[in-house]
Structure 1
Amino acid sequence: MPRRTREDLRNALDNQRAINAIMQLLLSGKPLKAILDEALEIIFSVAWLKVAPKGAVFMSDAPTGDLLLVSEHHLSTELRSLCARIALGQCLCGRAALTKQTQFASCVDHRHDISFDGMGPHGHYNVPILDKDSNVLGVLVLYLAHGHVQKDTEVEFLSIVAQTLASIIERKRTEEARDSLARIVQESACEIYELDAETHTFLSVNKAALDNLGYSRSEMLKMTPADIEVKLTHERILAVLDPLVRGEKTNERFETVHRRKDGSLYDVDVNVQVIRSGDKLTFAAIVNDITEQKRLTKLLETTVNNFPGGISVMDRDLKLALANSQFYEVLDLPQEKFPLGSAFEDIIRYNAERGDYGPGDVDDQVAVRVALASKFDPHRFERIRPDGTILEINGQPIKGGGFISTYIDITQRKNAERDAIQAQERLLNAIETINEGFVLFDADDRLVLCNNHYKEIYGLSKDLLVPGARFEEIVRISAERGQYAEAIGRVDEWVSERIASHKSQDSRLFEQRLGDGRWLLVAERRTPDGGSVGIRVDITNQKLTEEKLRDYQQHLEELVTQRTIQIEQQAGRLAEALEREKEVNETQRQFVSIATHEFRTPLAVIDGAAQRIGRRAAKMTPEEIAERAEKIRSAIQQMIGLMESTLAIEKSEQLKAPARAEKCDIRAIIESCCEQQIFMAPDYRIAIDMDDIPDSIEADPATIESVISNLLSNAIKYSPNSQDVAIAARRMGERLEIAVSDRGLGIDEDDMPKLFARYFRAKTSTGIPGTGIGLNLAKMIAEQHDGEIHAESRKGEGSTFVFRLPIRAALSSAVDRSAAN
């Protein structure tokens, strides 16, 4: 046998096995979805069929024709979502359903209406599933590798699979319909019985019959209708069923009474039909419990007889089908003359002949009324009888023809309404005569009435003040027109506030300013029925008077306030002057105390040296005289330092006043300060490092020079055992840093926080002349330049003072802040 023939035979066997396996699924009793899931797996198992193990089955939605995804294999989450419902004609699936032909695609082409980011390349077989009448039941979708070539054998096999699936789907739907019908019968609220035509025993009963009668199913299948129906004999059963057997009737309907297992009775309506299935004959009985219906019928009869007026029912032939005793009394009709069954036309003629419809031709009056009644239209009208009685007649059509009418004597009600109208007119006249505005809204906030004065007050909204207008609509449109001063510029917010206030259950009394400047006193109160009544009083003149009084009072208060402020300002200035005087006196006292102590030593040196020269001038050598002169000079220098400190105090006070920055050569200032200190202390060495500094900065040169001189002087003064002092200047971004270092006495750690306080002197400065003013002055100058100064020191190892200031001065702002402080 040729190889190709063997391969075709093997493929045909695979096809048959797959089809048989799919058909066997129908015998599994599984739900349709489970069968379709397994059918997809069987299709994928066919060895020769080169499809991807990925596919789906869609079912057609009968009302819309859309395809619904009911079974899928290895579809992505995106596809399950996007393809949950596909419209007829959409994408390849919808096209297969629309054309009822297999749709093939070797790649993702223009027909793929549904796609998403990341969707891989693939092809498709989309095979329609058709019933024997070519109606679309669904679509079978199989995925192919990209570039797959369509083959006739594949199309033929998939068409057979689709036909097999169609058979399964139709069979399962038939089973589901049968099961659904059985469920409906079992779950029906009606009692349903099936009877044997010969023995009349029950062949089957539904749940409602078992529940109502109280018997078990096994008990019921041994019984006949005679066991559950009161006064039903075998002869009566034959009389009911024989006409059905002979075909004389299609059904038999009657009312009877059922007896439950517990002996209780209930009324039923029975409808019996014959069921022919080939030669087999059975009967089906549908039984409705009408106990409640009969109870309601009796209740209706009682209600009709007790209705506070006449009731009549005319059938489709305009015959009197029902009437209570009041019908005859209200219309003054003789009951014996018009019993049930009397013609509507006869009753109308009787009324016309006795003059109930006024003068005119009786035949015409009867003809007009009969013609109107024959339309069976709803009607309601009032009729005044010759004796003055007023009747309200209300008629409603009945389904199937006829109408029911009520006749109520409303004579007293109409008289009461007339009296109420007269009373209302008197009230309205009274409301119109009052000088205040009056308004009334109902429970739904609709305008009931308002007087003319109210309309004059609210002239901009006069056209809105019509009965039935809603409060919110009136208020909003009036606010938009500028009616209310408080609403101008904030209409929505003001309207919300006004409505909330209006809906409050409490009585309200408030003032309201109108857009034209007038003032109203508004009083509102809820009525017992949920409405509201309001009064408007024009209080414009009163408000003007109050405003004048307030202006006068405010003027007086302003005068008092101004005078009080002046007194407080004078008192403040006086207090500041006294405080300043205290500070000056205290400063002078402290300085005098320090200066007295500090001046005593150099004066004693001068005095001693002068006395010695005076006593021994003739005997002293030039060297001794020079030594004494040097001591006098040193003492004088010390006194000069004290005098400079005195001037520094005055200078520190001047720093509180604004200063002006100018360009200055910082390198020249540092060099000048160093030269001065070396001249005064020739034994000391000052190391200078100024390589990385700008050519100039913006600052006050005099005050900057005093800071640098003070720091160098202190470094020399407090370094008695070391003659090395260093000054280093460098640029740090937009700031200049100047550091002065020594290897002198250093400063105790607990003295560091107070180092820049005025008059403070560290413990290590004991025995060394000084006033405690220099560092405080340096700190003030640094802050004036928007800069800073701080110290680093260890006792016995020396100190470093770092002075930083901006290269481009923010001096003006810093001076302003310093002045403010």
Structure 2
Amino acid sequence: MSTSSRPASEQLDTLIERIGVVPLKDMLCELLQRSAASLNVERVGYWSLDSDGRVIRREMQFLLSSADFDGESVELGADSFPTYFAALHEGSSLIVAGDSMNDPRLREFHTSYFTPLGIGAMLDAPVHRHGRLFGVVCHEHVGGPREWTAQEVDFARYVAQWIALAVEIDERQRAEIALRESQARYRQVIEHSPTPTVVVDMETGLFADANESAVRFYGVDRTSLLSGGPADFSPEYQPDGRLSAESAREKIAQALGGETPYFDWVHRREDGREIPCSVHLARVPGEGARVIAAVTDRTEQLRTEETIRRALENERELNELRSRFTSIVSHEFRTPLGIIMSAVELLRNYFARLDEERRSELFEDIHSATRRMGALMEQVLVLGRADAGKLTFSPVPLDLEALCLKLTDESQSATVRRCPVEMSFENDLAGATGDEPLLRHIFSNLLSNAAKYSPSGSPVVFRVRRDGDAAEFVVKDRGIGIPVDDQPRMFEAFQRAGNVGEVPGSGLGLLITKRCVELHGGSIGFVSEPGEGTAFTVRLPVFG
């Protein structure tokens, strides 16, 4: 790669502000072009997947040697390429083929595609939205076999994620535009359609006339309508708290005075249903104390406005989630990568001069940094499997006490025994059934957090007891605690407490924990006091 010293996320960060601003096609072109140049790959194309997942269609392809795009549409079907489609739908993994001619997943392409074009290696990154595969970014290396590096694979994965984000925002914007256009069309139809219209005689306080639309609108026959007035077809009070009769007299007086008041109103039909409306009043020329009222039903308008409001709220949430994801993941990868690069440079340039103790320290730094990156990637992958519905609950009989001791020991090793764990078991825990991988995610996260956010040497309590058909687990620390304002959001993605300072973390652990608890049919909650510590309580129905 031409920018091998920079993380993949950093190379693409400059595109974030352009997503949703430039047209989607232009953004896709730029992403493909950047990917081809960064990875030095001759052919990089984006293929979209049809709704039933049986056909992929090439939307565009960039050719590095000619610096041009091939817009010819090409389709591949699952019937002709079953092995490749099976590989595409297998989880969220990339298809990394250093030797495409000998990769069994790609054997269907050997004669018809690879040989004529001289393709020797492939790197295909699936594009997912809401846990569903809907496209793939294909990197086709022309020449002999090629060993794809981990950073190149990471870059391809980021390109696929950026394409998914661009498509998501583009569709949201299209939906928002469609809603606005729908609202405009609706208003135009109302203006040019027969509008419920009534004439009010202020001397009698009754309706003096009404059109057929008004008769249908109020839900009564003409005789009944003309036997009443505005107060008879309105609730006692309007939403602003004023009496309907009082407010109606005020608006009618304005119209008789030469004004044309336009205001919101709530009418009540004969069946008791209340209808939000807009009312436009004007004095009837030459008719004495009479006003004409054009009534517009606002039910659909309000529904449309609510839909738009929700769409805008979803877009704001998406923007916030995108920003938090970029910030946290970039930081969490950049720091350990810096440690690794620094340690490698020292070992490469001064290996002979370093004593054995210093070498061991540097190797341990590399090991710790890679373990930290691996833990973050594992969290992202687990969350991805959960969102895709691929994180399943498979209970088996287990020795609950032995498992808890094992998880505690593993957590102690992972945290270099930063905090001692005080274990206790109450009642008979025999006969439990559960999903060990889910339990591992739950308690590894809770024990790790307890040690991470507590002073070194501070004890952590891990208590397990049977309560009927359920087991209750309590993990309690004496650490920094969680600020009250942050507590309602602690189970959201990328959410971290405001008092964590420089303590590393992705903000995914508690979300993963909650998902695993829910898959297990249980519940999780916590109590926390800033500066005093936090106690998490998990209840799981593992007996009976």
Structure-1-length-normalised TM-score: 0.27
Structure-2-length-normalised TM-score: 0.39
Q: Taking CA–CA contacts closer than 8 Å with sequence separation of 6 or more, which of the two structures ends up with the larger relative contact order?
A: 2
Structure whose CA Rg is larger: 1
